[in-house]
Chain A
Amino acid sequence: MKNKRIGAQTVKLSEPVVIAGVSSVVGPKEGEGPLGNLFDTVAKEALYGEDSWEKAESKFVTEALQLAVEKAGKTMEDIDYILCGDLLNQCTGTTFGIKDFKVPYFGLFGACSTMGESMSLGAMLLDGGFAENVLVGASSHFCAAEKQFRFPLALGTQRPPSATWTVTGDGSAVLSKKGKGPVITEITTGKIIDMGVTDTMNMGAAMAPAAVNVLTAHFKDTGRQPNYYDVIATGDLGYIGKQLVIELMAKEGYEMGENFTDCGIEIFDKQNQDTHSGGSGCACSAVTFASYFYKKLSEGEIGRMLFIPTGALMSPTTSQQGSTIPGIAHGVVIESRKE
């Protein structure tokens, strides 16, 4: 067997995996944001015609996955596996959204890093020869997340400046062995990093060290520097987390330049949308990639991209018990392949 491992945390696929089609279905607030006209579908209201936030999230999942398959020019019968996840307890946002598809399914939990995790594992399944087409994705819902992790929506609380805003929606992608489109070439899988942050209203700070772990491991494994990429995009670190990554990377001897951004910064307009430190949630990186970055990759505006969704591996119970917030990140190298 050809050895695909090129370092401690990085693998190189023997054949690039094609991202044949993507979809982004989002809520109204996301639709009003700077990326508003790039999303495939913008729901008119957060309930999306359902009677609970949880059911609404599942509908975002259903709609987005169907659309991704359609846009890839395939049908559900062509899909060998679905790999996706969300933030709700027991990943029910996903399972209730996909249960009628009748496609073999692996449920994933990587908190907000799930898009990176699903793309990584999907690409590995394809490269391992176990599938022809894999459907990957991740979802989150602001209202459902607030209800589960924080307070009832109608409670009059103040959010601190470091808080982020959970993105409502689902971003999905069809990964294929053949076809046209940007390709996944390498994967750097993160380790769980816990630097002792306990403030659940400052998730960017909790996750930044995990992003740094992926970045340093990736550069060490590949011998590259940050400027090798046209874009390096973390998932949902927000303004504070991004700043911390820049500082931590400088300590490690890497200079993060203008090419470094964060999906949580791209998706909302901080000034006009009152989103404080930026966007967050599984859908943050998923829908930003599936709209904004995928378009740029397809058009060749971005040649090489390092996509690093980030996640905070906590639950309300662990936080209430005073435990720290462990972070995780998943790095995926995506190339345009458009001459």
Chain B
Amino acid sequence: MEETTQAKQIYDKMVKEASPDSPIVLNCIKAFVSGGFICTIGQLLRNYIETFSLGEDTTSLIVCVILILASAILTGLGLYGKLGKYCGAGTIVPITGFANSVVSPAIEFKKEGFVFGMAAKMFLIAGPVIVYGTLTSIIVGLIYYFVG
């Protein structure tokens, strides 16, 4: 096998042809339905909690806490990961997915100790979301400050 640039380009084409694509349309539909289902549960919870007249902020907070707790428990039981296989973005994007991304490394790295294992590795996947989420909100805040 010659490793020339031309040979690599030809091989790249061969690989693309031989490798089946992910079923994007089907995955999108599954994500839409499952993600929508999680959000509907959130809305139902919200409607119910609103009957206690705790105020807008507290109601939102309680809904989040319940969803996060549910996801953490399902992750611990090994069920959320299995859901993720079918739901894809539907279970990753909502707040439950964020909880899953924190709990799963915490479980996986517990054996390396509570400090350098669990705690240090807990944000292995969620870390970038926090970093760039914060950064984006700063930028948006600055734009809002000067323009808005």
Contact = CB atoms under 8 A, between A and B. Distances in A.
Given A154-B80, A156-B81, A195 B11 contact: yes
Interface in A111-133: none
Contact of B111 (A51, A159, A213): A51
Nearest to A324: B8
A52 B103 CA distance: 17
B124 to A, nearest CB: 8
Interface in B100-124: 100-101, 103-105, 107-109, 111, 124
Interface string A233-261: 00000001001100110000000000000
Interface string A146-166: 010001111111111110000
Contacts of A243: 18
Contact of A244 (B14, B22, B108): B14
Given A158-B88, A195-B7, A195-B8, A153 B104 contact: yes
Contacts of A147: 108
Contacts of B11: 195-197, 209, 248
Contacts of A299: none
A244 B1 CA distance: 13
Interface residues of B, number: 39
Interface in A144-200: 147, 151-162, 193-197
The binding surface of chain A is classed by DSSP as: loop
A202 interface: yes
B18 A158 contact: no
A156 B83 contact: yes
16 contacts: A152-B124, A153-B78, A153-B108, A154-B75, A154-B76, A154-B103, A155-B81, A156-B91, A156-B100, A157-B81, A157-B84, A158-B27, A161-B20, A205-B15, A209-B1, A244-B14
Interface of A: 51-52, 147, 151-162, 193-197, 202, 205, 209, 212-213, 216, 240, 243-244, 247-248
Interface of B: 1, 3, 7-8, 11-12, 14-15, 18-22, 27, 75-76, 78, 80-85, 87-88, 91-92, 97, 100-101, 103-105, 107-109, 111, 124-125
Sorted nearest first, the 10 A-B pairs with minimum C-beta distance are A156-B84, A152-B108, A154-B104, A152-B104, A196-B8, A155-B104, A205-B15, A161-B20, A154-B81, A52-B111
